[in-house]
Amino acid sequence: MTRMPAIDSLLKVMILRDAEAMTVAAGVAPTLRRAGNPEPLALPPMNAAMVETFISEIATEPARHALATRGSAEVAYRTADGASFSIVIEPSKLLIRRSTTAPAAPAPKPVPVPPVRPERRPEGPESKDPSRITAAITEAIDRHASDVLASSGQPLRLRIDGDVTPLHSDPDPISDSDLLALLDEPRRAALAETGSVDLATTIASARIRINVFRHHTGLGAALRLIHAKPPSLRDLGLPDDLTTAAAYRSGLVLVCGQAGSGKSTTLVALVDHVNRTRAAHVITLEDPIEYEHAPRRSLVHQREIGLHAASFADGLRAALRESPDVIVVGELRDKETIAIALTAAETGHLVLATMHAPNAAGAVDRVIDVFPDAQQRQIRTQLAGSLRVILTQHLLPRTSGGRAPAIERVVVTPAIATLIRKGELQMFGAHVQSGRDAGMIPLEKSLAELVKSRAVDAATARAVAQDLELFETSLRAR
């Protein structure tokens, strides 16, 4: 009688608990992810020999080669009972996801995840010319668009200077099969399981970040164009001296703003500055990887959530054991991630992160409010001691086309730290206005400079200003 692989017993637990993912690593108990939340199993910590046994059962020779050369490999695995899984193998660690589609053969088989190009799209009754997405990306580049937007049954559209406009070259509706062609099998399984999936790839020689999602009439997609190399702050129209935010040896730097405000791109520029100017070890946690940072003065390791780490919190926890100088977190979203980021910032690491917040006071409020009341006093103290700078930015339409950034910069001086500790965030504005010597920049002053340089009209800037009196005063100042 054939012996059942040892890993099948563990995967049965995952099925019985209706978990969408599981992390198995040497030295810790296996952890399930159910409804997006981590849930440790009541099992003893896995020893390294057991994890190696699991790896030996699922890894084929190509997967072992990928593990040795790239540090990770992804395989499709089907249990003796026919349940299908996608498993990322790392040294002494497995990241396991449920699959809704079975692999083509029952034997374990590696599923490579190369850049997916439209030319790989399967033909079918709904399929159209495979060059359509490529042509749309080419037109987007020519028209300086930031995004290509797709919805099944509708023509493709571009986002140019913040506005959505029709594609000139292709008025025909896009189909679900056209959009599914952007995804490999593991990501199609993830789309079926969660309703949306992210990836970054190359189309028409351009780096593209893609989100494919389900909606009430079919599939939709947003394709964000990414420049070939990381931009500098000057390329983004931001002050050169914002690089001081990346010069700290420890602490937390937050880049804030609404969705689409360019905060992730600003974070990329700060990482590029570190890479060019410091001999440091940088670990980035991204969802997904967009710009690729070739090592220069720094050694940069980029890790993608869902592929190289199960979550931002898992990636952060692992990063603390990987001798980093700088840790970059694509987004602070939840209590666990924020708590680990604060610990990293307190223990001698520089943590650069983005957060959805309208201003500095809103960012501090959001950090504190994710914790229960009993912990908030401690978190205020931690934040006051570790926070270094909060950058908040807005993108406004230029009078000449394109978009211009307006920023607020709050440097955490002893006075600002005291306000955070006491919870007197309503006093932030007064300290920012009077803190020019400390490097503070009020949003209203930044807006006024854009108007005075005729980059942005006054009505547009006035709509963004949070203190109209300060904006008008700054506008009159020479």
Is the pLDDT at 118 greater than 50, yes or no?
Answer: no
92 versus 415: which is more confidently predicted?
415
The predicted pLDDT at position 377 comes to: 94
Q: Nearest-CA neighbor of 253 among 32, 439, 476?
A: 439
Give the per-residue pLDDT at 42: 67
**Which pLDDT score, from 0 to 100, does residue 418 have?**
96
Helix (H) or strand (E) holding 214, with range, is strand 206-215
pLDDT for 119 beyond 70 = no
- Confidence check: pLDDT of 6 > 50: yes
Q: For the full predicted model, state whether its pTM sits above 0.75.
A: no
Contacts of 357 by beta carbon, 8 Å cutoff, 6+ apart:
254, 256, 257, 363, 365, 366, 392
pLDDT at position 131, please? Answer: 66
- Inter-residue long-range contacts of 295-300, CB under 8 Å, 24+ positions, other chains counted: 298/274, 298/326, 300/271, 300/275
pLDDT tens string 121-171: 333 333 334 468 888 999 998 888 989 999 999 999 999 888 899 998 888
What is the reported pLDDT for 366? 94
Phi, psi (degrees; rounded to nearest 5) at 189: -65, -40
Give the C-alpha separation, 246 to 37, whole Å: 32
* Domains contained in the chain, CATH given: 6-110 (3.30.450.90), 118-226 (3.30.450.90), 240-441 (3.40.50.300)
pLDDT (0 to 100) of residue 396: 94
Tell me the pLDDT tens digit for each residue of 192-219.
888 999 888 888 778 888 999 999 889 9
Sheet holding 251-257, edge to edge: 299-304, 281-286, 326-329, 350-356, 251-257, 387-397, 403-411
pLDDT tens readout for residues 326-368: 999 999 989 999 999 999 999 999 999 999 999 999 999 999 9
Mapping DSSP to helix (H, G, I), strand (E, B) and coil, where does residue 252 land? Answer: strand
Percent of the chain with pLDDT over 90: 50
pLDDT tens digits, one per residue of 47-72 = 887 788 888 888 887 778 777 766 77
Paired tokens of 362: 């809103």
